[in-house]
Amino acid sequence: MSTASRPLRVVAVSGSLTAPSRTTALVEAITEAFGRALPIEPHLIALNELGPHLAGALTRKQLPPEAEEELQRIEAADLLVVATPVYRASFTGLFKYLFDFVDQYALVDTPVLLAATGGSERHALIIEHQLRPLFGFFQSLALPVGVYAHDSDFTDYKISNEQLTERIEKAIERALPLVRSSLVEKETVERTLAGEDVSAE
């Protein structure tokens, strides 16, 4: 089915190792906000669940089917929403471990909304200094506004700070034109590969 005629495949990745998790609550809230703006088919990958299926594998061929399926979902996504808790001033080891298995060229031009949670406001730049370079490596379209949340923005693992909700809305507002244009581009590539002449459009 072509990109234009199906819901957007949105894959959300939470790098948290725990449940319940603020990070998972954050990626879910961002994904839901996208869903209010566009028709989407969301899929959540929570590393506290997937992690045990990754552990021990040194190459992708050694991964069990559960992990391989999730990698294929990441690689086929129209939009990624990725979030990690800050651990030792960076993403969690499992978050990086997962993306180390992703094909180097599978995420070229894929829009990626970057998000993180932390116990300190001082680590908010994890988004710019750790996540953005990683998705720069993948040649992804790292979206301009990231979302950083502090532990105090949550009550019982639900977002309770209105400013965080506004930041999510701002991130989505800035993301939407880029996501829409990436879909148009993807559709053009698909039609060209299917043999259609799109040069006159």
Ligand X SMILES: Cc1cc2nc3c(=O)[nH]c(=O)nc-3n(C[C@H](O)[C@H](O)[C@H](O)COP(=O)(O)O)c2cc1C
Asked if 126 and 118 count as a contact pair (C-beta separation under 8 A), the reply is yes
Asked if 85 is part of the footprint of ligand X (rule: CB under 6 A), the reply reads yes
Q: How many residues bind ligand X (CB under 6 A)?
A: 16
Tell whether residue 161 is a contact of ligand X (CB under 6 A): no
Determine the 3-state secondary structure of 144 from DSSP.
coil
Q: Distance of alpha carbon 54 from its chain centroid, rounded? A: 18
Please report, as a single letter, which amino acid is at residue 22: R
Among the candidate windows 3-11, 55-63, 81-89, 164-172, which touches ligand X by CB under 6 A?
A: 81-89
Residue choice 9, 68, 87, 191 for contact with ligand X (CB under 6 A): 87
- Residue 86 in the binding site for ligand X (CB under 6 A): yes
CA dist 163 to 31, 77, 167, Å?
A: 17, 29, 6
Tokens of 188: 């053009």
Q: Inter-axis angle of helices 47-54 and 65-76, to 10 degrees?
A: 120
Please report whether residue 31 would count as binding ligand X according to CB under 6 A: no
Which residue in 119, 133, 136, 144 binds ligand X (CB under 6 A)? Answer: 119
Based on the shown chain and the rule CB under 6 A, indicate whether residue 89 belongs to the binding site for ligand X.
yes
Task: Give yes or no for residue 184 binding ligand X (CB under 6 A).
Answer: no
Among 31, 110, 117, 130, binds ligand X (CB under 6 A): 117
Q: Note whether 130 binds ligand X by CB under 6 A.
A: no
- 17 vs 176 by CB, closer to ligand X: 17
Is residue 88 involved in binding ligand X (CB under 6 A)? Answer: yes
According to CB under 6 A, which one of 3, 10, 23, 51 is a site residue for ligand X? 23
Task: Report how far residue 201's alpha carbon sits from residue 188's, in angstroms, rounded to the nearest whole number.
Answer: 10
Q: How far apart are CA 174 and CA 165, in angstroms?
A: 14
Q: Which stretch binds ligand X (CB under 6 A): 69-77, 80-88, 98-106, 175-183?
A: 80-88
Please list the residues that pair with 114 across neighbouring strands.
82
CB nearer ligand X, residue 23 or residue 182: 23
Q: Is 20 helix (H, G, I), strand (E, B) or coil?
A: coil
- Residue 18 contacts ligand X per CB under 6 A: yes
Mark residue 89 as left, alpha or beta (left: phi above 0; alpha: psi -120 to 50; beta: remaining).
Answer: left
Q: Which residues bind ligand X (CB under 6 A)?
A: 16, 18, 21-23, 85-89, 117-120, 123, 151
